[in-house]
């Protein structure tokens, strides 16, 4: 492990507070969510985003964000459709990422230049406490190099990531262990951009998603 990384148990007194302080200072923190270990940074801090991109080894896609609660949607989304609120009540906290129209002040690194942003409220006690302490959104891309396998356990976070971290919060194995489902609500009808922990069948049971499209249905890039 890189010598400068603080590896802390998420159950240790003061550990999550230390991680939150590091995020507010523009540093990177890896931490467990319900799905996988995430790489956290302040999404409005350009230097922090630069560190994240360097740690990932470059990234062309947008960077998803994690929220402390659905009430934070207005901080990152230009508008919150009724369907988004319905899905948030049903599936959050949980492994469903919603793609919405992004607020104009979100950096291009976050939106990927598409004008959209992926957001979710994660489950898991460490992630939930960290987000409450930060008091706003943080990045939620998986804590791995681009193209590498995402980590489910703290010990699976690779050295290339550790070299850029201030804090690694160890919360044991992530219970879901697979990525979140990504549902794009900016298209009509909505479409699943990435299959994941929430099934298409479960989504289609929500009013307004009966015609939901799946990956491979000729979705626009």
CA 126 to chain centre: 14
pLDDT tens digits, residue range 6-59? 999 999 999 999 999 999 999 999 999 999 999 999 999 999 999 999 999 976
Q: How far apart are CA 137 and CA 119, in angstroms?
A: 9
CATH code of residue 21: 3.90.870.10
Is pLDDT of 1 > 60? no
Give the per-residue SS3 of 27-39: CCEEEECCCCEEE
pLDDT tens digits, residue range 160-171? 999 999 999 999
Q: Let me know if residue 143 belongs to a domain.
A: yes
Alpha helices by DSSP H, the chain: 15-24, 46-56, 73-76, 82-91, 108-111, 125-134, 159-162, 200-204
**pLDDT attached to residue 61:** 84
**pLDDT attached to residue 217:** 59
Q: Let me know if residue 61 belongs to a domain.
A: yes
Is pLDDT of 181 > 60? yes
Local structure of residue 154 (DSSP, 8 states) = G
Q: Let me know if residue 209 belongs to a domain.
A: no
Percent of the chain predicted with pLDDT > 90: 90
Residues paired with 9 in a beta bridge: 170
Is pLDDT of 185 > 70? yes
Residues paired with 96 in a beta bridge: 181
Q: How far apart are CA 136 and CA 200, in angstroms?
A: 29
3-state helix, strand, coil in the chain (%, to 5): 30, 20, 50
Q: Let me know if residue 176 belongs to a domain.
A: yes
Burial class, 98, CB count within 10 angstroms (exposed 0-12 / middle 13-18 / buried 19+): buried
| Number of domains the chain contains | 1
Residues paired with 208 in a beta bridge: none
Is pLDDT of 104 > 90? yes
Range of the domain at 83: 6-204
Cβ atoms 150, 143 nearer than 8 A: yes
* Mean pLDDT of the 88-104 span: 98
Q: Let me know if residue 213 belongs to a domain.
A: no
pLDDT band at residue 203 using 50, 70 and 90 as cut-offs = very high
The angle at the Cα of 80, spanning 32 to 41, to the nearest 5 degrees, equals 30
Q: Which residues contact 116 (CB under 8 A, 6 or more apart)?
A: 62, 99, 100, 101, 102, 184, 186
> To the nearest whole number, what is the mean pLDDT of the chain?
94
Is pLDDT of 187 > 50? yes
Q: Let me know if residue 156 belongs to a domain.
A: yes
Q: Let me know if residue 215 belongs to a domain.
A: no
* Mean pLDDT of the 140-157 span: 95
Q: Let me know if residue 211 belongs to a domain.
A: no
The token duo for 107 is 């950096």
How much is the pTM? Answer: 0.94
* Mean pLDDT of the 55-81 span: 93
């Amino acid at each position: 492990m890189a010598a400068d990384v603080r590896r802390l148990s998420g159950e240790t007194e003061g550990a999550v507070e230390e991680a939150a302080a590091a995020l507010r200072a523009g540093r990177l923190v890896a931490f467990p969510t319900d799905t996988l270990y995430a790489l956290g940074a302040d999404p409005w801090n350009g230097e922090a985003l630069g560190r994240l991109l360097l740690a990932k080894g470059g990234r062309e896609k947008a960077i998803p964000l994690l929220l402390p609660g659905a009430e934070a949607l207005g901080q990152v989304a230009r508008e919150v459709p009724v369907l988004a609120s319905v899905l948030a009540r049903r599936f959050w906290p949980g492994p469903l990422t919603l793609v919405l129209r992004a607020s104009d002040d979100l950096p291009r690194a976050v939106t990927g230049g598409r004008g959209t942003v992926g957001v979710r409220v994660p489950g898991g006690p460490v992630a939930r406490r960290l987000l409450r302490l930060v008091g706003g959104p943080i990045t939620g891309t998986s804590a791995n190099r681009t193209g590498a396998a995402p980590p489910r356990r703290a010990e699976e976070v690779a050295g290339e990531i550790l070299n850029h971290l201030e804090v690694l919060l160890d919360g044991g194995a992530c219970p879901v262990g697979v990525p979140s489902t990504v549902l794009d609500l900016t298209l009509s009808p909505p479409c699943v951009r990435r299959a994941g922990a929430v099934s298409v069948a479960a989504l289609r049971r929500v009013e307004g998603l009966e015609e939901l499209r799946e990956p491979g249905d000729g979705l626009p890039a």
